Amino acid sequence: MWLGLAIGNSRVRWGLFSGEALRASHCSGHFNAPITDHDSLAACLPAAWCEHLPAQPPLYVASVVAHQAPYWQAYPHARAIALAQVPLRGTYPQLGLDRALSLWGAGEVWGWPTLVVDAGTALALTAADGHCRLIGGAVLPGLRAQQRALAQQTDALPETSRLQDLPPRWARDTETAIASGILHTVSAGLQSYLADWWQQSPGATALLTGGDAALLYGALQAQAPTLAERLRCDPHLIFWGMRSVRAHQPGG
């Protein structure tokens, strides 16, 4: 048994693996105390997991949050994954590790060429060709980040809680208007990228992942059902990438 740990900007994701099989996944907040031994590790995990774990399981870590490093680096069996370990071709030094791992995981499981749309704190689109080479992508503020930006950068606009379903396009109250502006424009932009992607690579895959994947997929289903039918949702892409990287490491 081993653990995968993906530390993102908003949350921490855990994967419980038996060999190459993902047995369970779990989300938690960022660390506020170091992991040093079995007990402190177990405190972060669902109780049911601890029944199956060895005394000190290997912990493979992919993090994009530098200030969280001291918390997991204290664990003696932590193994950090670096961008250089991802076999994706044509990467650049500033490419986010989460983007690279999710893209690699998508290609390995779903086939190449592939496009990954990660609907997280940032909304990131990342594509690779049939030779496992990075084509490129785009990054913009995620749905919640846009929502928070309006509340923080204006005097009168509230932080709406209505990002749940696709709202009416022409809203008649402020909170619904904010939700409409965010969801309709992000969905329209994503439709443009998807149409361009499938024009370039007609038989390619496209996958949606991330915390707001279900919300964004629902918006696409309502606005562009034909495109949505071709889009696949997979919440575990980063774990598939981590699994592949681990398998190619000595002792993996």
Residues 185-214 pLDDT 10s:
999 999 999 999 999 999 999 999 999 999
143/162 same-domain check? yes
110/222 same-domain check? yes
Residue 244 lies in a domain: no
Q: What is the mean pLDDT of residues 154-159?
A: 84
Whether the model pTM is above 0.85: yes
The angle that helices 237-247 and 97-110 make with each other, rounded to 10 degrees, is 90
229/118 same-domain check? yes
- Here the CATH number for the domain that contains residue 130 is 3.30.420.40
Q: What is the mean pLDDT of residues 10-38?
A: 95
pLDDT band, very low/low/confident/very high, at 164 (cuts 50, 70, 90): confident
114: closest CA among 134, 138, 98? Answer: 134
64/156 same-domain check? no
What are the start-end ranges of the H helices in the chain? 38-42, 47-50, 69-73, 97-110, 143-153, 174-200, 213-223, 225-230, 237-247
Residues 102-150: tens digit of each pLDDT: 999 999 999 999 999 999 999 999 999 999 999 999 999 999 999 999 9
Residue 39 lies in a domain: yes
Indicate if 165 belongs to the active site: no
Residue 100 lies in a domain: yes
pLDDT band, very low/low/confident/very high, at 50 (cuts 50, 70, 90): confident
Instruction: Give dist(CA 21, CA 33) in Å, integer.
Output: 29
189/219 same-domain check? yes
154/30 same-domain check? no
Active-site residue (options: 37, 39, 98, 165): 98
Structural domains of the chain, count: 2
> CB count, 10 Å around CB of 8?
23
Domain range for 40:
2-80
71/110 same-domain check? no
